[in-house]
Amino acid sequence: MACAEEDRCSYEVCKETRDWLCARTALRPRTAIICGSGLGGLADALENKTVFEYEDIPHFPHSTVAGHRGRLVFGELRGHACVCMQGRFHGYEGHSASTVTFPIRVFFLLGVEILIVTNAAGGLNPHFQVGDVMFIRDHISLFGLAGLNPLRGPNDERFGARFPCMSDAYDQELLGLAQESAQELGFQSFTRQGVYCLLPGPCYETVAECQLLQALGADAVGMSTVPEVMVARHCGLRVLGLSLITNKVVLSYSSQEKANHEEVLHTSQLRAEGLQKLLTHLLGKLGEGTACP
């Protein structure tokens, strides 16, 4: 039940997908979590799960990247109603911006209020180490600066205003709760704050590009997240972003290091348990979700 790329962001198409999901699960999630590369294990920790394969959901795109399982999982963590994406969509897969961000509008129509985005990223900040978790304080969208914005085109006021503000893209209260959770769990040694930069991929960055991004003030670089955050804020969702630093970018032409996806997945698996504990602890602070009859 696929739809044309240009129609995917329409209110009517998103509502069809929402209605299909609502007919098959009684859970009404307050929080949506997008699991980045190798981080889909968080969804396995949900209780009272209902699982949908992307290919079975009307109008839902398919994920083609290793480490992204392609499932939408409804369930509860610490009594908090959640929906988790085990696998996201990227522009480098050939998807349009409306396809990449389609699930966010569906979540909005489901009644989601909070979006938690996770990703695997390369560390630009020289003080960051592989395995660190960076709470995203802000982002740089080189896509957006070039005019490739997921909100480009006709605006539907049922989703949000024509000119959404992005100076508060990442919710300060959620960021504070995440830092508080890290402190209570004793995770301060590997949690950081910083600015995430989006590049289109699928190529990893050149040395010159990494030096440019450092000069721009970026602390980590990746190939996702920002379009989803833009659409989430357009819809009025509160956003928390976390980047797992899976590799340090190459900044010297004499370096023998080479970024690769296998390293990304390996580091994700090593830190996945800690990240799962962090988000579970955080969700416990957000209170209980709701289920409808």
Active site residues: 37, 68, 90, 92-93, 120, 223-224, 247, 261
51 within 8 A of 71, measured Cβ to Cβ: yes
Of the candidates 5, 7, 2, 9, which has an alpha carbon nearest to the alpha carbon of residue 151? 9
**CA distances in angstroms from 53 to 40, 72, 87, 111, listed in the order given:** 14, 6, 11, 21
Cα(first)–Cα(last) distance of the chain, in Å? Answer: 28
Q: In the structure encoding, which two tokens stand for residue 73, read together?
A: 């999982």
Q: In degrees, to the nearest 5, what angle opens at C-alpha 114 toward C-alphas 44 and 245?
A: 60
Residue 8 CA to residue 168 CA, distance in Å, equals 27
The token pair at 11 is 């209110």
* 26, 56 contact by CB (below 8 A): no
Instruction: Determine how many CB atoms are found less than 10 A away from the CB of residue 38.
Output: 23
- DSSP class of residue 93 equals G
Residue with tokens 């000119």: 163
Cis peptide before 202 (omega within 30 of 0): yes
Question: Are 148 and 101 contacting, i.e. CB atoms less than 8 angstroms apart?
Answer: no
Question: Dihedrals φ, ψ of 188, to 5°?
Answer: -60, -25
